[in-house]
Amino acid sequence: MNNFSYTRATDITSAVNEASREATAKFIAGGTNLIDLMKENVARPTRLIDINRVPLNRIEETKDGGLRLGALVTNADTAYNDQVEKRYPLLSRAILSGASAQLRNMATDGGNLLQRTRCYYFYDVATPCNKREPGTGCSAIEGFNRMHAVLGTSDQCIAVHPSDMCVALAALEAVVRVTGKNGDRAIPFSDFHRLPGDTPQIDTNLEADEIITSIDLPPKGFADHHAYLKVRDRHSYAFALVSVAAALEMDGNKIKGTRLALGGVAHKPWRSKEAEELLNGKAANSDNFQAVAETVMHGAKGFGHNTFKIDLAKRAIVRALKHAAQMEAPR
């Protein structure tokens, strides 16, 4: 780890001021991703701005009947919050399927959105990587790419976003509230993360001087019909190969609304509105779900080691939709 200066901020304004003063400074919240990257010399901030004393650690109702998750609420406190468990069980499930109890006690909701890819080459400073060092090339495209993306890739980068929480937030259409030098913004979840394109070094549309203040959940929580299915190499404490957040609005066996988001397959939580609309007014059955899966994965491209993810994702989509429609019980 490199040497650095340390600032402890106790309010939003001073945190933003500190960040805008020094381009190579970084906020630190739980530290579970940033400290890891600093130990590997992947991140080398000149200053850490500790935001843990900024009062953003509450969960409260919003005026429109939704729920506001303060950026510094821990993943554990979010998953076990009464309101989240009751109204947004999809989010609880997704969070609890990630990391370990210890890490979830440290990890914050804001930090979870900004965690970086687990691509092995990104972590290994001895190898070329466009995300870590733009212009050096991508070691994964022709290297080991079992964990990599099959949708939305570019010839610059095929990394995936590793978060489980974000897959549920994408399905719930959360809004990310941020504050920077130029004031406040509300970013719809689908616009928060980016595809790699020609700038894989930039993961999100957050500016360097902006701090996430909260993640707002809209009133609709899909508590009656939801599922989070995570497929991975071991049963617990492993990142997803493929994950699916499915949420349905149903009238008897008829589907009135669908939300579907995938993790482990792209540089951001993946949604296909086209596929979701296929289910409007349709019955919940295997054929209709299979059609959705084919549409979501249409155009998917494997890179060798990860080509299995295309079929795996299709099967996971069908199964998650069945769980959400309560056609079969989750195992």
Partner 1 sequence: MAAGAIMRVEQNTQANTQTVSLPSSTKITLTINGVRRELQVEPWTTLLDLLRLNLDLTGTKKGCDHGQCGACTVLVDGKRINSCMTLAIMKDGSEVMTIEGLAQNGALHPLQQAFIEHDAFQCGYCTPGQICSAIGLMREGHATTADEIRESMSGNICRCGAYPNILAAIQQAMAHRRNVDRVAGERSVNPIANERSVNP
Ligand X SMILES: Cc1cc2nc3c(=O)[nH]c(=O)nc-3n(C[C@H](O)[C@H](O)[C@H](O)COP(=O)(O)OP(=O)(O)OC[C@H]3O[C@@H](n4cnc5c(N)ncnc54)[C@H](O)[C@@H]3O)c2cc1C
Q: With CB under 8 A as the contact rule, which of the stretches 7-15, 19-27, 218-226, 245-253 interacts with partner 1? A: 7-15
Q: Applying CB under 6 A, which residues contact ligand X?
A: 26-34, 36, 51, 71, 75, 98-99, 103, 106-108, 110-112, 114-115, 162-165, 211-212, 239
- Smallest distance from the beta carbon of 209 to ligand X, in angstroms? 10
CB contact at 8 A, 168 and 136: no
Taking the alpha carbons at both ends of the chain, their separation in whole angstroms is 42
Sheet holding 242-251, edge to edge: 226-231, 242-251, 254-263
CA 59, 63, 65 angle in degrees (round to 5)?
A: 75
Query: Which is nearest to 262 in space by CA: 245, 274, 275, 248?
Result: 245
Residue 58 in the binding site for partner 1 (CB under 8 A): no
Binding site partner of 108, from ligand X, partner 1, ligand SF4, none, Cβ cut-off 5-8 A by kind: ligand X
39 interacts with partner 1 by CB under 8 A:
yes
The interface partner of residue 88, options being ligand X, ligand SF4, partner 1, none and the CB cut-off 5 to 8 Å by kind, is none
Q: Is 8 in the site for partner 1 (CB under 8 A)?
A: yes
Please identify which residue in 200, 221, 263, 269 interacts with ligand SF4, judged by CB under 6 A.
200
Nearest CA to 247 out of 271, 214, 216, 212 is that of: 271
Closest CA to 319 of 231, 218, 203: 231
Task: Answer yes or no whether residue 243 interacts with ligand SF4 by CB under 6 A.
Answer: no
* CB-based contacts of 21, cutoff 8 Å, min separation 6: none
Cβ of residue 142: shortest distance to ligand X, in angstroms?
27
The answer to whether 279 touches 250, Cβ cutoff 8 Å, is no
* Residue number with CB closer to ligand SF4 (10 or 136): 136
Shortest separation between residue 231's beta carbon and ligand X, angstroms: 12
Q: Which stretch, 102-110, 122-130, 232-240, 318-326, contacts ligand SF4 (CB under 6 A)?
A: 122-130
